[in-house]
Amino acid sequence: MTSVDPAGTADRARGPAEPGGAPASSNAAEPGNAAEPCNAAAPGNAPESSAPGPARHLPAERSTRRRYAIMLITAAVVVAVDHLTKWLVSTHVVLDTEVPAGAPITIHYIHNSGAAFGLLPQLDFLYLVVAAIVIGYILLYGPSMGGGMLRLLALGCILGGSLSNGIDRLAQGYVVDFIDFHFWLFQIFNVADMGIVGGMLVIVYQLGIRRESPAPG
């Protein structure tokens, strides 16, 4: 008669107690089987909005466009006013006459083939070359020259004056001058000349102030 071992039967029913032999449902509790971290927390997986890209350059580009706009609008105003006044004078005043005669400031209508204020009329071609260099330089480097709003307005005046007189010289070989200060040493000039000389004086004045300002510390 065979004896029955209740303990052995129970051990066989439970199965061998091997290390690591826990049921598959307990894998989450075993070391090394933890859930993988979320990709959002992994290094290098930061949101795209925080990565460096073209968005960081937008403020600088907008500032450059704004400075160009200020400079070009100023130049366009100078060109428009200069050509309007030249047209009015050439339409209503006889060439080589003054209105009103004998006044300290007169409208003295002349044709000028020289540079600003009628200087060096024999170097008309050289004036066009210099004007082209000035225009190109301002268009390329003007917005990056600094100096604030006043500098941009001054550069726009120089640009507009150079363009306006340059267009007249190319189209007709001369410019119309008509502003005559009889009590001044300068020659007869026009609005474009005023823009060129006035803009240059402002820039020279600003550069002089910057050099004279004491260094911090």
**Residues catalogued as catalytic:** 177, 193
Residue 107: how many CB atoms within 10 A of its CB? 18
Taking CB atoms within 8 Å and a gap of at least 24, the contacts of 168-175 are: 168/86, 169/113, 169/124, 169/127, 169/128, 170/128, 173/113, 173/124, 174/111, 174/112, 174/113, 175/86, 175/111, 175/112, 175/113
Both tokens assigned to 160: 């507009």
Phi, psi of 175 (to 5 degrees): -120, 155
Closest C-alpha among 150, 158, 141, 139 to residue 198: 158
Instruction: Write down the residue that tokens 């209740």 correspond to.
Output: 6
